[in-house]
Amino acid sequence: MSAAAGALERAYRDERAAVLATITRRLGGDLALAEDVVQDAFVVAAVDWDRRGAPERPGAWLTTTAWRKALARLRHDRVAAAYVPETPMTSEFEFDDSSLDDDQLAMLFACCHPALAPESRMALTLRSVAGLTVPEIARAFLSSEAAMERRLGRARRKVSDARIPVSVPSDDLLPERLAGVLRVVYLIFTEGHGAVRGDLCEEAIRLARLLVRLMPDESEARGLLALLSLTDARRAARMADGELVALPEQDRSLWDAERIAEGRALLGGIKSPPTPYVIQAAISALHSTAPSWEATDWPQIAALYAELQRYDGSPVVAVNRAVAVGFADGPRAGLALLDAAAQDERLARYQPLHAARAELLTRAGEDADEAYARAIELTANEAERAALSRRRAS
């Protein structure tokens, strides 16, 4: 790769979101136009930098170029429609390198604004912060390019029309809004993780890393990055012969030691009291260092799930806690927790509950046939059905 191409790639990765934030603000919130002209600026850069070499301040160069493009468009529109919203037409423009980080954050907070639909937040974040192309995002969400373009278009119009601020929220709003941003990053990851799509997992980890770098004092951001690294470390072991492999059956030699080390190091640096992502990361770290499913530190995992349940009343947490307690304190203690959780009627068709119940009943030496039958009935995954049937027969 030539020096110019390298500089362009770096600028795209590190400065695009900040340039976009600056231009959007300057255009009074018109994110749609800003996207277009920033894209144009990168096209110009590809030719210009190759010929003349990369500029000393790529971000400033791109911002000025994008702004000139925006002015040209606005002048054209003004002639065409004799109407342009109150935008200063001056071409003098200072790009402030020192606000690069803040501008990236500003873009991230705008894309994850709660006034946008949740699925639009993910798509817009991937486009305007991570810089993924529309076809890439469409593929990631198994959507058509046209549908994704429409969704992004609507989201951008909402940012412009409702004037969603492209700025870092004030201190009183920050905790709540940051939680929303972390949630979007987490959902991008789970979207990729569920479908075993490494590209989305990588993007989510990159975004989490950016947040940790820009907001180093936020332990939930750190906890999220730790959780994503530790979970993603198991990616290679999660698929075998085209089927998902559950944690107990995974080949642990395939786990990514580097990612595990990164996750554990992040966790080690957190001093504040545990919060949901930090707790989940701690659970994941214990799994990551266990030699086998059986030889896992179950008492500590059970205690962490109990802590997590205080924040998260979801069935996933309730069932996972019962499984951990089943190992830590014996199958009957686990069954007692499962039976309590099963009071919730919504769990009648929750497969993991019935699979866990079958397992615990077997270990308690009781009749597990009915529980196995129910779990098998609710399992769509062929490999998992086969594994359950084997255990039922043994």
Partner 1 sequence: MQYLLQFTYRPGEGPEEGTPEFDAEMKVWHELNEELRTSGQYLAASGLKVDAATTVRKTGDEVTVTDGPFAETKEILFSFYILEVPDLDAAIAVAARTPAAEYGSVDIRPMVGASFA
Which residues of this protein are in contact with partner 1, per CB under 8 A?
A: 29, 113, 115, 161-165, 169-170, 173
By beta-carbon proximity to partner 1, the closer residue of 96 and 176 is 176
Both structure tokens of 81: 């429609």
Q: How far is the CB of 320 from partner 1 (least distance, A)?
A: 35
Any idea what DSSP says for residue 160? H
By beta-carbon proximity to partner 1, the closer residue of 170 and 394 is 170
By beta-carbon proximity to partner 1, the closer residue of 184 and 376 is 184
By beta-carbon proximity to partner 1, the closer residue of 161 and 377 is 161
By beta-carbon proximity to partner 1, the closer residue of 50 and 102 is 102
Q: How far apart are CA 151 and CA 178, in angstroms?
A: 23
Burial of residue 165, with CB atoms counted within 10 A of its CB: 0-12 exposed, 13-18 middle, 19 or more buried: middle
Both structure tokens of 215: 């907001």
By beta-carbon proximity to partner 1, the closer residue of 165 and 315 is 165
Amino acid at 127: R
Helix pair 257-268, 219-232: axis angle to 10 deg: 160
Q: How far is the CB of 311 from partner 1 (least distance, A)?
A: 23
Question: Helices (DSSP H) in 27-144: which residue ranges?
Answer: 31-52, 58-81, 100-111, 118-124, 134-140
Q: How far is the CB of 129 from partner 1 (least distance, A)?
A: 19
Q: How far is the CB of 176 from partner 1 (least distance, A)?
A: 11
Q: How far is the CB of 173 from partner 1 (least distance, A)?
A: 7
In Å, what is the CA distance from 302 to each residue of 296, 327, 333? 11, 9, 11
Residue 220 and residue 212 in contact, taking contact as beta carbons nearer than 8 Å: no
The label of the residue with tokens 């990612």 reads 259
Q: How far is the CB of 102 from partner 1 (least distance, A)?
A: 16
By beta-carbon proximity to partner 1, the closer residue of 174 and 236 is 174
Say whether 244 sits in a helix, a strand or coil: strand
By beta-carbon proximity to partner 1, the closer residue of 173 and 265 is 173
Q: How far is the CB of 83 from partner 1 (least distance, A)?
A: 11
Q: How far apart are CA 330 and CA 333, in angstroms?
A: 6
Q: How far apart are CA 139 and CA 274, in angstroms?
A: 36
Q: How far apart are CA 46 and CA 59, in angstroms?
A: 14
Torsion sign over Cα 315, 320, 325, 331 = positive
Q: How far apart are CA 153 and CA 236, in angstroms?
A: 36
Q: How far apart are CA 187 and CA 181, in angstroms?
A: 10
> In angstroms, how far is CA 342 from the centroid of its own chain?
30
Q: How far is the CB of 162 from partner 1 (least distance, A)?
A: 5
By beta-carbon proximity to partner 1, the closer residue of 31 and 208 is 31
Q: How far is the CB of 170 from partner 1 (least distance, A)?
A: 8
